[in-house]
Amino acid sequence: MHNVHFILINADSAKDAAIDAENEILEWGTDNNWRSIGGVASEDGTDDLECYESKGYPLSFLDDLEGIPKGGSCFERTVAYVKQMIGDPIQLYNGSYPPAANMKEALALICERLTAFDTENGNSHELWAAHRNLQQLEQMMDGRGALADPEAGIPEFYAWSFDEVGLTDMTGNTEGAKRYLVFLDMHS
């Protein structure tokens, strides 16, 4: 699997943000879970790095995404992408589920599959996919809850689960003059 996970971090420069993010997750992963730092977006838009390492998701990957504003800072555009990932419509990541218009429809799709599951001859992968999709919806609900709270700021979801598409807020663990969003390119 190959995905982007965003890390919100405090630092004094984009380069420091990339180094600090890497240091924060140094012990995370195995030989089968390797990563690289891609783009780094500063909150004020004055200190961005297109791609810290030669591989990874660069800031410009946002340019090709539908529904993401073409104007504004890379930080603002990344926050818009994060909000889009936890909003409607919903694409369940595991199994061959069609897109769902909203949370209720996504839950109904999973329930339909579980209700129709053949307990004598069914494939356990179907149960695994339903489980993972329910976890996805749980994470989306947490992120949506953060959006509803004006004090919460940027919604965190799949926090510290770097092998999932998500966002981890490390601002409580780091120091620096600015906030940055670091694009972590995760392979697992």
Predicted TM-score (pTM) of the model is 0.89
Sign of CA dihedral 149, 150, 151, 156: positive
Query: Over pLDDT 90: what percentage of the chain?
Result: 81
Cα separation, 24 vs 173, in Å, equals 9
Residue 10 CA: distances (Å) to CA of 4, 31, 67, 129, 137: 19, 28, 28, 36, 29
Strands 34-42, 178-187: pairing is antiparallel
Is the confidence at residue 30, as pLDDT, over 80?
no
Is the confidence at residue 91, as pLDDT, over 90?
yes
Average pLDDT over residues 85-109: 96
pLDDT tens per residue across span 110-165: 999 999 999 999 999 999 999 999 999 999 999 998 888 777 779 999 999 998 89
Residue among 148, 172, 183, 176 nearest 2 (CA) = 183
Domain boundaries defined on the chain: 1-85+156-188, 87-154
